[in-house]
């Protein structure tokens, strides 16, 4: 019998299989966020399914859930989240989550009756995420000066000077030169994002909409 939590995910508009289901975002992120350092496929805690692959991408698309409780174990972060009035468990690479924070469930891979050996605990239903992404966080009209520019996988990665801080952003194929002013409309943050095309991990990066050069 399908669990109450799995039924919730079906209710918010995704397809559920008998014991394993995948939430496919309508517009997946550029690249899957790889597990944090020390949590590679070869070093997963005992009892963990492999996390990764094109079918398990974390994006800032819905459905969304609100963090209620967090646990850290075996190089992963577990979170009990509330979605549509129900509580479900999710797990992903180590990340700093706060109670009340909203995260995306898009691109998740689920299992039922999963036993986490590192916690000595069995979850009736749990979703595995490649990374924790939230709702758009950057204010509209955000802009900054390009300090460093990298191209990879069809995206432009820019380290920008925001005046009182610096931030890495990424947007669809825009030509940017160091010293130019770049602007964007909104951004979705990701923690510990690993870019296979760049062979580099960003502790934090904003994937932005409407990236453009203003000067």
**Gap between the Cα atoms of 169 and 163, Å rounded:** 15
Mean pLDDT of 68-73: 89
Distances (CA, A) of 25 to 31, 60, 88: 13, 9, 19
Query: Is residue 23 scored above 80 in pLDDT?
Result: no
Q: Tokens in use for 189?
A: 């943050």
Look up tokens 């595995």; give the residue.
Answer: 128
Q: Which has more pLDDT, 208 or 28?
A: 208
- Phi, then psi, of 177 in degrees rounded to 5: -115, 150
Is the pTM value of this prediction over 0.75? no
- Among 138-147, 156-165, 185-194, whose mean pLDDT is lowest? 138-147
Query: Is residue 43 scored above 70 in pLDDT?
Result: no
Residue 5 · residue 37 · CB < 8 Å: no
């Amino acid at each position: 019998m399908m669990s109450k939590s799995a039924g919730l995910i079906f209710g918010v508009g995704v397809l559920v299989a008998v014991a394993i289901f995948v939430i496919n975002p309508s517009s997946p992120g550029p690249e899957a966020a790889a597990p944090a350092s020390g949590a590679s496929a070869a070093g997963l805690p005992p009892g963990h399914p492999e996390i990764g692959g094109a079918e398990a991408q974390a994006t800032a698309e819905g459905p969304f859930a609100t963090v209620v409780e967090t646990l850290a174990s075996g190089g992963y972060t577990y979170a009990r989240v509330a979605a549509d009035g129900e509580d479900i468990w999710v797990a992903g690479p180590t990340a700093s989550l706060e109670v009340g924070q909203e995260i995306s469930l898009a691109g998740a891979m689920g299992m039922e009756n999963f036993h986490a050996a590192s916690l000595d605990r069995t979850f009736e239903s749990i979703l595995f995420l490649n990374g924790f992404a939230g709702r758009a966080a950057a204010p509209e009209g955000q802009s900054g000066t390009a300090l460093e520019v990298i191209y990879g996988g069809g995206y432009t990665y820019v380290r920008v000077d925001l005046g009182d801080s610096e931030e890495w952003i990424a947007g669809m194929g825009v030509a940017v030169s160091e010293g130019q002013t770049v602007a964007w409309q909104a951004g979705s943050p990701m923690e510990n994002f690993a870019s296979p095309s760049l062979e580099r991990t960003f502790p934090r990066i904003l994937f932005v909409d409407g990236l453009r050069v203003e000067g």
